[in-house]
Amino acid sequence: MKSAYELAMERLNKQSPSVQLTADQKKQIAELDSQFKARTAERELALGDAIMTATAKGNFEEAEKLQKQLGHEKQKIAEELETKRDAVRQKRN
């Protein structure tokens, strides 16, 4: 007898079947993940230093502005990564 979870997963797969990725597609996605993780870390370091400097000087408005900028840039990088991942997934080999 199947559990409710198993039945739900079967129905979900019938509605929208999961896509099987090739080894090359998996490799490309892993490379993209690595590149974008590095870009995110780079921005965190650069803006993190600026945030700490502004905070140390007592310029809390500037620190808050930089924190918002960091959040925006991280979101932008994540959106770009997802767009590129989708492009790789859509390729047919």
Model pTM score: 0.72
* pLDDT by 10s per residue, the chain, length 93: 788 888 888 887 777 666 688 899 999 999 999 999 999 999 999 999 999 999 999 999 999 999 999 999 999 999 999 999 999 988 875
Residue type for position 30 = A
Other Cβ atoms closer than 10 A to 78: 12
For the chain, the straight-line distance linking the first and the last C-alpha, in angstroms and rounded, comes to 38
Residue 90's pLDDT is 87
pLDDT value for 17: 63
For residue 83, give the H/E element and its range: helix 60-90
Cα separation of 93 and 77, whole Å? 27
Nearest to 33 by CA among 76, 84, 70, 89: 84
